[in-house]
A and B are shown apart, each in its own frame.
Chain A
Amino acid sequence: MNIFTTDFFFSIIRIATPILLATLAAVIGEKGGVSNIGLEGIMMMSALFGSLGAYWTGSWLLGLVIAMVVGLIEALLMGFFAFKLQTDIILVGTAVNMIGSGGTIFLVKTISNTVMGQSLTSTTSLITKAHQIPSISIPYVRDIPVVGKVISGHSLLTYIAFLLVIFTIILLYKTPLGLNIRSVGENPNAAASVGVSVSRIRYITIGIGGVLAGLGGAYMSMYYAMGWSLDMVAGRGFIALAAQSMGGGEPVGSMLAALVFGFAQALGIKVSATGVDSNLVAPIPYIVTIISLVLFALNQRRKERKRFAAAA
């Protein structure tokens, strides 16, 4: 059986989208010196409120906006604890992930009970086709043989995600804000010495990450799966951190890394369809991460040695 069909490549993109969104959040965060390991939790929370919002308002668009706002608020709260109260950002992220896993189920039960009079453990029964983020069939492109089938017909958010890669590049490398973000991440003293407000830039950095993770969450509950359910993000927020390191912290590299993870997962699904246990394939992205981090570190070390040898 040939597994490398157009369907397969289509699914890579579909699977990689939420990872890509979170990865961009990680890329911008790391550039600004903010290691956000709470992306996982933010995605969970946004996934929940995005689906609820879409259900209440009857509009996927408003649901999407709500998901982004929830992500933003959560990220700014993280910033408050990390920057203002000086909590180690790793611990803040851990706390956000706790809320993202157990807290969301509490909220969904409570909210559904209060609003609808019945306690739900997921929102899958609420989300119908009407609440889904629409798919877009691109005229002309869809008619191109093979390629058309792979890149046309995705969710609107998928196209937005890839456009956001370009947006991220422009933001980081072509705007004054990006310059500030990069300088605060690399040498906050230098930034402060020319009058850049370091804490303001940090809040902006983590805030943008929150919005992007929020989009990733919305994609999960309003497109990828119909509705929110427990632990549905399943480590994508963590994989995003890995994709960021694998991609050397740059937008395009990290996008490719996100696609590698998408590929690994799509392959897993395909392979498991042939009867092989998906559990054997599913950990590949995680193993790939560890190996790539090691290769990256070895390469860095080699560069340093070279520099030292040149100096001596």
Chain B
Amino acid sequence: MSRKNSIKFSLIRGLAAMGIALAVAFLLILFSANGSNLPEKFSSSLAALREMLISPVIRKNGTFSVKGLSDVLAGMIPIMFTGLATCIMFAANQFNLGAEGGIMLGAFVTALVAIYLPLPTPALMVVAVLVGGLSVGILMLIPAVLKAKLGVSEMVNSLMLNYVIMYFINYLMNSYLADTSKGITQTFPFRANALIPQMINNGSRLSWGFVVGLIMVVLSWLFMYRTRWGYGIRMTGINQPFVMYSGMNVALIVILCQVLGGFLAGIGGGIEMLGRYNVYNWSALPGYGWTGITVAILAGNNPLFVPLAAFFMSYLTKGCTLMSTNANVPSQLISIIQAVIFIFFAAQQFMSGYRQKLVVKSAQEEQAKARQEGERSDQ
């Protein structure tokens, strides 16, 4: 299939998946919308759908909302990082689901550094986030090494680690670290110079961490497509025996991608913490890891598409929140939409019939072209 047709197919397939997801969403909204009869329900559903799809960035009066956009961008920060982390791990066919616990641990460790380590201004921020990232990277050695050396499922181990991380943090919080003068479990405030400055002061909490995220996207892409290590990771995901035969170290690659994924999730947690909060108060897994998996699937494991996918997810999340306030449709609709898009995107056979048609068409075109060229050269 030609490159053009290949792109065309991906695009149409992606739109179809989103279309199905929105149709499912509409049905569910219809079910939950206000109204005593069907036409009434229908119109209020449309209003709700409009709320979800348009209101994140457009005000009631039809003008563009900067605040709305900055909210969406701010929401992208954590899921860009977990998305990148998942991209790198999934690219090597390592189904490590530890980004969820990873972002929590990264946030927590960063918070501790930001509270207790007296460092000068730019250093504290950087050190705090890096230490957060490194701690997760090191922790990911557990599922990674066990997979590489013993073949133990990285999936089950990383899932288990998520819970261990959560309970361990909660234990430390309850027993040692909580500011007991407060009603809820939270730490003492971060040092003022640890906070990541905001890009825009409108309450969106859009910090410069967003730019760091974009830089990490570029770096991740460079790593995956412009270095020997990223190359090894991608080839391992395609054909592991080939990688071994070619003389690369498969075990090392399996470990490397998971450690890097952990590191990215960890710094994501740190940046989210220092950019949005001034105390640490997460007591449960934040869910960003799971959204990160959706982001990675939508981006086709290519870091370059992560911002786009993260924007889409963040936008929908915001849309669903607004819909719940204004149209009385629960915001958790996002989980269902997310799952539906996700599952159709990942389905290899979804629209395979259409793909086959394109392949055949493409082959015919090529033959026709070859024939024309042949005739031309005959003349």
Chain A interface residues toward B at CB < 8 A: 37, 81, 84-88, 90-92, 94-99, 101-103, 105-106, 109-110, 113-114, 119, 231, 235, 238, 241-242, 245, 277, 279-280, 282-283, 286-287, 289-290, 293-294, 297-298, 301
Contacts and interface: CB of A to CB of B under 8 A. Distances in A.
A114 B290 CA distance: 30
B167 A91 contact: no
B277 to A, nearest CB: 21
B332 A293 contact: no
Contact of A245 (B97, B156, B167, B333): B156
B99 to A, nearest CB: 12
Contacts of B146: 290, 293-294, 297
B153 A293 contact: yes
Contacts of A87: 343, 346-348, 350
A37 B155 contact: yes
Given A98-B342, A110-B330, A294-B152, A286 B349 contact: no
A95 B298 CA distance: 13
Contact of B150 (A88, A238, A301): A301
B156 A289 contact: yes
Closest 7 CB pairs of A and B: A102-B335, A110-B32, A279-B171, A85-B347, A106-B332, A109-B330, A283-B167
B160 A280 contact: no
B343 A91 contact: yes
Interface in B195-233: none
B339 A103 contact: yes
Contacts of A286: 160-161, 163-164, 167
B343 A280 contact: no
Contacts of B271: none
B66 interface: no
B160 A238 contact: yes
Q: Size band of the B side of the interface?
A: 35 or more
Contacts of B294: 98
B213 to A, nearest CB: 23
Contacts, number: 139
B335 A106 contact: yes
Interface string B25-45: 000100110000000000000
Contact of A242 (B156, B168, B339): B156
Contacts of A293: 146, 152-153, 156-157
Contacts of B32: 109-110, 113-114
A101 B335 contact: yes
B332 A90 contact: no
B62 interface: no
Nearest to B143: A290
Contacts of A119: 328, 330
30 contacts: A85-B350, A87-B346, A87-B347, A87-B350, A91-B293, A94-B290, A94-B293, A95-B343, A98-B339, A101-B287, A102-B335, A110-B28, A113-B32, A114-B31, A114-B32, A238-B156, A238-B159, A242-B156, A245-B153, A279-B168, A282-B167, A283-B164, A286-B161, A287-B164, A290-B161, A293-B152, A293-B153, A293-B157, A297-B146, A297-B151
A90 to B, nearest CB: 5
Nearest to B151: A297
Interface in B321-343: 328-336, 338-340, 342-343
Nearest to A289: B160
A279 B332 contact: no
A152 to B, nearest CB: 33
B142 interface: yes
Contacts of B97: 94
A295 B201 CA distance: 54
B335 A277 contact: no
Given A91-B346, A287-B164, 4 more contacts: A110-B329, A289-B156, A293-B146, A298-B150
B10 interface: no
A92 B342 CA distance: 9
A247 to B, nearest CB: 13
Interface in B1-42: 28, 31-32
